Every structure is written in structure tokens, then in C-alpha cells.
Amino acid sequence: MNNKDVLEIIKQGENSAVEFKERKIRAESLAKEIVAFANMNGGVILLGVDDLGKIVGIDPENFNYEEWVCNISRNNVVPSIQVEYLLFQMDTKIIAVITIPKGKDKPYQTVDGKYLVRVGSTNRLASINELMRLFQQSGVFHYDNISLEKTSRKNLNLQKVASYFERYKLDFELLSEEDRVSLMKNSDILSDNGELTVAGLLIFAINPQRYLMNASISFAHFKGNEISSELIDKQNIEGTLDYQIDITVAIIKNNIKYPSTIVGAKRTGEKTYPEKVFRELVVNACCHRNYSIKGSRIRIFLFDDRLEVISPGKLPNTVNVEKLRAGVSYAVNPVILKFLENLSYIDKLGRGLPMVCREAGIMNKEIIFEEIGEEFKVTLFI
């Protein structure tokens, strides 16, 4: 960062990633800003700039701002977080730029117990749903293992449950009702109170969308490279997760058309991605989406030049895009992961996305991983 960069930040004004603070600021106020940024995607605080973007400067010779800022980030933020502190000389004024990273140990709170998030250019207390998502990203809480009200084993496809346990040489149908219930509770299909877990619903229920309406996949195929292009095909895929995966992969394969010609008795054409690539992207979206975000579906868009897979939810605290390419993963939904692994839809060796990256390299095509707001997006060029 240089003076030109700082002036550009000031020009943009306060926003979801930028906050201005004059030199007279209480430690509690600065701590709130740090907490809010750390709980979201990070940001910068400019000390010595007023709310209107006027540079008023600070006086670091008469006050050790750097030590003050470091002490606040260490003692007034729980857990503590390391920030970057830089000074910039702007004509006759000096300002400090404090850079707060996206937190790896969310959720963060102030010493008086306030969980804050950044919304636009302001901070506010996290709602219950926002706080739940922050805990989920930290791995302290897993939404897929909570029970769903008004559900019971009557909502289950018991034939599918029996088929699942056949893999373990267990004859589910010969068990007593008490033993069946005990087995399903110990397997996380049912919660201790007899209600279905989120994972149990999504894998074994007769109609999962009755209780999780948007736990589905929306597919759209456009003629062109823009979302405003002519719509060729549009489908909403519902049902259990394994059914959604199978149907969605079939739809993608059916919609991707590769030009080919007849040479002699053989058909030749452009090289295509193997089915395992599309399957991995769909499985990954279903397994790692945040099901507590109930207003969004997984969205898959097919354009002439690319396939986009967008799933609700951010990456977990310890995972970033670079780690994904290397095969590092974290189970956002460990129970769903367990069920899909046992149903042979996934393995936990971290081979999936690196395989997709390798196949894209073989095709000389680009693959892009992006975290955009509360969503994660994979773009595979075809």
C-alpha cells in the first residue's frame, strides 16, 4: 500500500471494508470496529480521517498509537487478533492505516461480550442466525446435527434406511422398534429427542423440502455468456441429496454440447471433461453448503464458455482458496459428509477439488474459486 492507494480508499468513503476515525477515539470504540471487521471479510481503519473523508491527522510523536492499537487488538478483542499498523505522510498530516484480516478464529467479541458484524458502513450486533453461522464457520457448532421440530421417524424412507445399514451387514428390518430407534439415534439420523437431524432429513426423508424448502438445486442453461442471455433450460431439483446429485449431473451432461464431426466410421470432436469433474463440483456444493441459510438454493448456471456452481455459505475459518486447490478441506457438515462418504459419493482424502483443477489443466481451461458475500462460487471454463 502506498499514498496513492490510501487516497483512493479515502475517496471511496466508508463502506463494508473501510472505516474512518479521528484521533480522539475510545479504546472500546476501536475494539468494536476490529471485532466487526474480523467477523466478516476484514477491512481497514484509517486513523486521522474524519467521517467526511477530511484528513485531520494524528500526532504519533506525542502518543504511541501503534502500541495502543496493538494492545486493543490483544486485550479488548476476544479472541485476540493480529492487525497491521502502517503510517503514511499525507502532505503535512500523518494518518495511520490499521488493516484487520478476515478472522480465522470467529466469532470474535468485545471484552464486554458483544458480537458485532459489519453491514455496509456501520456495525451492528450479530443476529441469532448470523451468530449461528459464525459459530458454524469456527467448527464449534454444526447445523447438520441439530434436530428439526415437528419431524419424526414417520418422515423417513425406512427402505432407504434399511439399505444404508445393509452396508454394515445389519438387517434393519429384523430389529425391534426400540433397537431401530436406538440405531438411528446412534447414527445421527435421529436426535436424542426422536426428531430428525438436518442430515437425517436430507439423506433419508421422503420429502426433505417440506421442512427445508430451499435445500435444493436450481439449474439454468443460457445461450450465450451472460445471465441476460436466452434461457435454454431451467430446472429445480429436489429430493434427498444423493438423488439431487445424480439428477443434476445427468442434467449438466445432457446440456453440455460439444461439436463433433464424422471422420470415416468414427466420431471425433473436442475433448470433454469426464463426468467425475461435474459430479465432484455438485457433491462439494451439496456437502459443504450452509443449510442454515434458508433463503437460498444451490445455483448452477451453464453458459457457452463456463459452468458456475454457487452455494450458500462462506468457507470455514481455517480454509482459503489456496488451500482448496491443495486439497485441504474442513467438514462444514460432518454428518452429511459421513452419510455421503458411506454412500460412496465422496471420500475424505481431499482429492476432489485438486482432481478438478488437474482436469481443467489438461483441458487448458481456467477454474476460479471465489468467496462472494455469504456465498462460495466455483467457475469452471469449458
Residue 354, classed as helix, strand or coil, is helix
Q: Residue 158 — φ and ψ, nearest 5°?
A: -65, -25
Which amino acid, 189?
I
Q: For residue 320, what pLDDT is reported?
A: 74
**Cβ proximity of 148 and 295 under 8 Å:** no
Residues in the chain: 382
- Domain locations in the chain as residue ranges: 3-126, 143-207, 217-381
Walk along the chain (382 residues) and give the pLDDT tens digit of each residue: 889 999 999 998 999 999 999 877 899 999 999 999 999 889 999 999 998 999 999 998 889 999 999 999 999 999 999 999 999 999 899 999 999 998 888 889 999 999 999 988 899 999 877 887 777 776 667 889 899 999 999 999 999 999 999 988 889 999 999 999 999 999 999 999 999 999 999 999 999 999 999 999 999 999 999 999 999 999 999 999 999 999 999 999 999 875 544 555 454 456 789 999 999 999 999 998 999 888 899 999 999 999 999 999 887 766 777 777 766 666 788 899 999 999 999 865 557 888 999 999 999 999 999 988 788 999 999 9
Q: For residue 268, what pLDDT is reported?
A: 47
Q: How many CA atoms lie within 13 A of 340 on its CB side?
A: 29
Q: How many CA atoms lie within 13 A of 264 on its CB side?
A: 1
Q: For residue 177, what pLDDT is reported?
A: 94
**Cβ proximity of 19 and 43 under 8 Å:** yes
**Cβ proximity of 368 and 378 under 8 Å:** yes
CA 246 to CA 244: how far, in whole Å?
6
CA 194 to CA 44: how far, in whole Å?
48
Q: Tell me how far CA of residue 186 lies from CA of 189, 255, 304, in angstroms.
A: 8, 41, 47
Give burial (CB, 10 Å; 0-12/13-18/19+) of 42: middle
Phi-psi region of 42 (alpha: psi -120 to 50; beta: other; left: phi over 0): left
SS3 of 263-330: the string is ECCEEEECCCCCHHHHHHHHHHHHHHCCCCCCCCCEEEEECCCEEEEEEECCCCCCCCHHHHHHCCCC
Distance, C-alpha 375 to centroid of its chain: 5
Write the DSSP symbol of residue 143: G
217-381 under CATH 3.30.565.60, yes or no:
yes
CA 70 to CA 34: how far, in whole Å?
11
Q: For residue 270, what pLDDT is reported?
A: 64
CA 310 to CA 300: how far, in whole Å?
6
Name the residue with cell 464424422.
262
Q: For residue 9, what pLDDT is reported?
A: 92
SS3 of 177-211: the string is HHHHHHHHHHCCCECCCCCEEHHHHHHHECCHHHC
Q: For residue 313, what pLDDT is reported?
A: 87
Rounded-to-10 torsion of CA 319, 325, 330, 331: 130
For domain 3-126, which architecture applies? 2-Layer Sandwich (3.30)
Q: For residue 321, what pLDDT is reported?
A: 72
CA 263 to CA 278: how far, in whole Å?
28
Q: For residue 262, what pLDDT is reported?
A: 52
CA 67 to CA 266: how far, in whole Å?
73
Give per-residue burial for 300-333: e unless 16+ CB within 10 Å, then b.
bbbbeebbbbbbbbbbbbebeeeebeeeebebbb
**Cβ proximity of 106 and 137 under 8 Å:** yes
